[in-house]
Amino acid sequence: MNNSRLNWKIGGEAGYGILTVGEIFSKAFVKGGYHVVAHPEYPSLIRGGHNTFQLRIDAQRVRAPILPVDVLVALNAETIVMDLNDVVPGGVLLYDAKSFNVAPQRGDIALCDVPLTKLVTDLHLPKVAANVAAMGASVALIGYELRLLNAAIQDVFGDKGEKIVEQNVIAAKAGHDYVTRSYPEPYKGGLRPLKGPNRMTLTGNDAICMGAFKAGMKFIAIYPMTPTHNVMTYIAAHAREYGVAMVQPEDEIAGINMAIGASFAGARSMVATSGGGFSLMVEGLGLAGATENPLVVVDGQRPGPSTGLATRTAQGDLRFCLHASQGDFFRVVIAPGDPKECFFETFRAFNLADALQTPVLILTDKHLGTSFFTSEPFETDGLNVDRGLLLTEGAVPADYSRYEATSSGVSARTVPGVEGGMFNSNSDEHDERGYFSEDAPVVAKLVDKRCRKFFTAATLLDGIKYHGNDSSGTVLVGWGSTKGAILDAMDYLRANDDVELGFLQVLFMSPFPSQLVKEHLEGRQVILIENNRGAQLGSLIKEHAQIRPDHTILRYDGRAFNADELYQKIKEVL
């Protein structure tokens, strides 16, 4: 560690409030001018198990976790057993030696023994307050300012009442004061607050919710499923403020059908789930495609097949989302790579759903959805809601045909109650007025109509972002949450090895930006980076751009790439 960065990790069993502690500690450093990436890990259990929260803090922009850690805070013996090897030589273990009978088996780290349980017991505070005392102790250990931790405690617990805030502030002070008395020299010189602009600390799921609110979403149906469960809790906390009807249905099948019904009635609607839940929604997705109802679907990916690893991360649903449901119809598939993109692409998803009258799928994952990242405030000037060809009272032509076979594939729609806008909405194949038809020319005409939306969408979107050196002979290729680790690895290569690479980020998987991908990759060494076993983006590049990646770096063990790990793997290839 130096005076501008720190890698901190806390561990304990479920019920110790590890995730809340991590959120508070993250906010404390953002308030002090630092950038953070905060990465929670918890097992695929209903109750219990080992929970950790790792926080990377840096004066420079960081986007992905790294190992090893400088400071490990152990709230139970299991953390010492499982995580002690993650500490860098010369690092620190902060623990309560009297609370558990495990001796740390490392002679190359410093031990900071803090009687956390006794501190909170003597103050007549709940036992769980030991986690906040540990934060206060950490602040003193690294020479940070307690006032910033107190401000973060106020932010997180303010809506629970002043008594809760006061109890946590007292617990933090107890841990802080004990370390100040017992270990007066801050760890390796300390970590001082910096001057900097105001920044946000948020997860990808938070940003999706914010983008949906900004887009005017009025209905959402969510059956809770990791890792989109906190989409539900965020929306529930703010639904009244934004006039949103949120429903927890009996299952995912009911959820998507409710959302389609809300869309039919004119409300911007969304569902959020994971791969298993989306599997149940597939027939409903086809219904939205057949009836040409706008719909936004968030798939927070986790490992599969079946239940897989319910609380880990993966990028294995790409091909599934591209081809889900039977028959031919067009859908948009977007894969944002950070919270900023989660916000803006969610906003755009609602506009695209209305403009194209088709489902729009947003692919995230557990790492992007539930980790905390630093972000500048979003600049929202110029964001305009576009409802597409939605006819209002008095604008409906006398010969109105809801499914008119236009050159764009998009036809004017109405909502119930608009005079002259009545039509038949049929899940079977139908003619331009919506009536069931098996007539061969009519069937072909309507299939062609729906599929022409692909070409219309392709004119609206670029589909890629390019980062780094545009003239480099080697290009890294990735999508979704790999973006952060790739950009940080590129920073390492630039600083340590004087190597400048390019990075092609594929943002839209459908319509796939074939020509742009080909232009950026043709004649260059391509290194593909994905969190799945099958190199699914690589197969799309081969299919659409006729380019085979030269090397693949794949991770599929339920964990995200660490930036330092990815840096080493890229160096091996180079």
> Which domain CATH number covers 136?
3.40.920.10
Does some domain include residue 458? no
Token duo for residue 21: 């502690």
What is the per-residue pLDDT for 2?
A: 54
The answer on 308 and 207 residing in a single domain is yes
- Whether the pLDDT of residue 417 is over 60: the answer is yes
Q: Residue 184, SS3?
A: coil
Element (H, E) at 246: strand 245-247
Q: Could you list the residue range(s) of the whole structural domain that residue 18 is in?
A: 5-197
User: Residue 1 — very low, low, confident or very high, per pLDDT cuts 50/70/90?
Assistant: very low
Burial-class residue 249 by CB neighbours within 10 Å (0-12, 13-18, 19+): middle
The CA–CA distances, whole Å, from 475 to 172, 322, 334, 452, 468 equal: 47, 25, 21, 33, 9
The answer on 224 and 138 residing in a single domain is no
Please compute the mean of the pLDDT values over residues 6-28 and round it to a whole number.
92
Does some domain include residue 500? yes
Does some domain include residue 14? yes
**Paired strand residues for 467:** 503
The answer on 521 and 486 residing in a single domain is yes
pLDDT, tens only, 549-569: 999 999 999 999 999 999 999
Out of 346, 375, 404, a domain closes at 375
The answer on 182 and 263 residing in a single domain is no
The answer on 165 and 218 residing in a single domain is no
Cβ atoms 550, 527 nearer than 8 A: yes
User: Residue 188 — very low, low, confident or very high, per pLDDT cuts 50/70/90?
Assistant: low
Does some domain include residue 447? no
Round the average pLDDT of the chain to a whole number and report it: 95
Element (H, E) at 467: strand 464-468
Out of 149, 167, 197, a domain closes at 197
Q: Decide which of 399 and 48 is more confident.
A: 399
Cβ atoms 520, 488 nearer than 8 A: no
Q: Rounded distance, CA 334 to CA 509, Å?
A: 6
For residue 223, which of 294, 295, 283, 297 has the smallest C-alpha distance?
A: 297
- Whether the pLDDT of residue 106 is over 70: the answer is yes
Does some domain include residue 387? no
The CA–CA distances, whole Å, from 262 to 289, 295, 351, 441 equal: 15, 9, 16, 32
Q: Decide which of 209 and 188 is more confident.
A: 209
CB atoms within 10 A of CB 384: 6
User: Residue 4 — very low, low, confident or very high, per pLDDT cuts 50/70/90?
Assistant: confident
User: Residue 102 — very low, low, confident or very high, per pLDDT cuts 50/70/90?
Assistant: confident
Does some domain include residue 108? yes
The answer on 207 and 179 residing in a single domain is no
The answer on 182 and 260 residing in a single domain is no
> Which domain CATH number covers 485?
3.40.50.920
Does some domain include residue 452? no
* pTM for this predicted structure: 0.96
> Which domain CATH number covers 312?
3.40.50.970
Please compute the mean of the pLDDT values over residues 507-514 and round it to a whole number.
97
The answer on 206 and 193 residing in a single domain is no
Helices within 315-439 (DSSP H only):
318-323, 339-356, 366-370
Out of 354, 375, 396, a domain closes at 375
Does some domain include residue 443? no
Q: Rounded distance, CA 380 to CA 389, Å?
A: 24
The answer on 513 and 539 residing in a single domain is yes
The answer on 219 and 193 residing in a single domain is no
pLDDT, tens only, 229-288: 999 999 999 999 999 999 999 999 999 999 999 999 999 999 999 999 999 999 999 999
The answer on 144 and 175 residing in a single domain is yes
The answer on 174 and 73 residing in a single domain is yes
Domains of the chain: total: 3
What is the per-residue pLDDT for 100?
A: 83
Element (H, E) at 444: helix 440-451
- Whether the pLDDT of residue 46 is over 80: the answer is no
